[in-house]
Amino acid sequence: MTAHEDPGDEALARVFLARVVEPGDEVAGRWIRELGAVEVARRLRDGGPQLVGVTDKRWAGLCARAESVEPGRDMEVAEEAGMRFVCPGDTEWPAQLDDLGDARPIGLWVRGRPSLRVWALKSVAVVGARACTEYGAHMAATLAADLAEDGWIVVSGGAYGVDGAAHRGALGAGGATVAVLACGVDRPYPRGHAQLIGRIAEQGLVVGELPPGEHPTPSRFILRNRVIAALTRGTVVVEAAYRSGSLVTARAAQRLGRHTIGVPGPATSGLSAGVHELLRGDAVLVTDAAEVIELVGDMGELAPDRRGPVLPRDLLEPAARRTLAALPGNRAAAVREIARGAQTTEDDAVARLYELRALGYVERHGDGWKLTRQAMISVRPDRGRR
């Protein structure tokens, strides 16, 4: 801290500690619980007296890291980027994060207008494989869209694969979604999702423990998952191999007493092996959003009797529906032909086609695009009513 920064300010002390201490550090969490954030920050800034639970070498490393920290500057950068810092005790702090004990976040950086506390009260995590199959992307998007339609907040990690499909599904339904990142929320990661995360910040919330400008590391991804689990009423895993990080989220949910939920896949699929292992334990099998809500919702929110599959095409944005309708039913078509039929540009058509691919409606064939069998079943009946 610099001389002009109030050393007794709780929020500034936590901003300071968020840059010195790694997320989920239970030793530092115990220091904060026993001594308070202001005193811990003072000792690290002044180089002592040394706190218990760390070696001399570790303490020296923390103190060296603290020398260059300027929490006031972090607050200025955050304000310029449209971010705010929420810490325990604030009205916006989600109390369920306190279930993490000494591993709870020192504070959270938040982008977006809604209240994190209010949104977290009715939220569900949808997580899974980054290298997911079209089935996994379709299930994640459909679940998220249907959850959002029913007023639930969809929480995920902003990554490729299932995470991205879940966020897009919720947004496509005009619903609410929260991305919990393993980096500074002013620097979206992965870069390929910068536009998606920007859209989430405009319509929902982007949240993270790390200060502005911080980059992700493998350990930070793993530690981020505990926040997703604690923040929500339950965690739904859509496709996960045995070593998937999404299983870390599910196991954290189990430890915290949250609902752990799995979407089954083919018995021969390695990408579903981790989910099936969860289902052999205490996780609950679901096939749609109604079954998720029956678990995590209020008493009486029962899943309806089954009368056949429900497809999410009506939740597509108008531009995506026009693009879907522009594909011929019996062959692949070039982007130019599809754009002409949808009355849009080729660039826009490509963007819509990739969205439709994530939802399982189209697939790429060389330089062309073709309807999947699912789309043939669900879209063709509408042709006669146009």
Domain boundary among 267, 296, 325: 296
Domain boundary among 266, 296, 326: 296
Domain containing 365 — which CATH number? 1.10.10.10
Domain region containing 376: 312-383
Domain assignment of residue 33, yes or no: yes
> Do 337 and 278 lie in a common domain?
no
> Do 216 and 168 lie in a common domain?
yes
> Do 55 and 113 lie in a common domain?
no
Domain assignment of residue 148, yes or no: yes
Q: What is the pLDDT of residue 381?
A: 45
Domain boundary among 70, 96, 129: 70
Q: Do the Cβ atoms of 140 and 132 come closer than 8 Å?
A: yes
Domain containing 206 — which CATH number? 3.40.50.450
Q: What is the pLDDT of residue 384?
A: 38
Global pTM exceeds 0.85: no
Domain assignment of residue 89, yes or no: no
> Do 114 and 262 lie in a common domain?
yes
What total number of domains does the chain contain?
3
* Cβ atoms within 10 Å, residue 285: 13
Tracing tokens 């220091």 back to the chain, one arrives at 31
- Give 101-126 as a DSSP string: GGGS-S-EEEESSS-HHHHHTTEEEE
Domain assignment of residue 210, yes or no: yes
Q: What is the pLDDT of residue 240?
A: 94
Q: What is the pLDDT of residue 278?
A: 95
> Do 289 and 320 lie in a common domain?
no
> Do 134 and 232 lie in a common domain?
yes
> Do 276 and 146 lie in a common domain?
yes
Domain assignment of residue 303, yes or no: no
List the chain pLDDT tens, one digit each, 386 residues: 443 355 468 999 999 999 999 999 999 999 999 999 999 999 999 887 899 999 999 999 999 999 999 999 999 999 999 999 999 999 999 999 999 999 999 999 999 999 999 999 999 999 999 999 999 999 999 999 999 999 999 999 999 999 999 999 999 999 999 999 999 999 888 999 999 999 999 999 999 999 999 999 999 999 999 999 999 999 999 999 998 889 999 999 999 999 999 999 999 999 999 999 999 999 999 999 999 999 998 755 555 555 544 455 666 788 888 999 898 888 999 999 999 999 999 988 988 898 888 888 889 888 899 988 777 765 544 443 33
> Do 274 and 367 lie in a common domain?
no
Domain assignment of residue 100, yes or no: no
Q: What angle do CA 30, 34, 40 make, to 5 degrees?
A: 80
> Do 46 and 172 lie in a common domain?
no
Amino acid, single-letter form, for residue 165: A
> Do 121 and 209 lie in a common domain?
yes
Q: What is the pLDDT of residue 276?
A: 96
- Name the strand (E) or helix (H) holding 227: helix 218-231
> Do 217 and 273 lie in a common domain?
yes
Q: Do the Cβ atoms of 277 and 237 come closer than 8 Å?
A: no
| Cβ-based neighbours of 75, under 8 Å, separated by 6 or more | 12, 15, 85
Q: What angle do CA 285, 291, 296 make, to 5 degrees?
A: 95
- Between strands 153-156 and 259-263, the pairing is unpaired
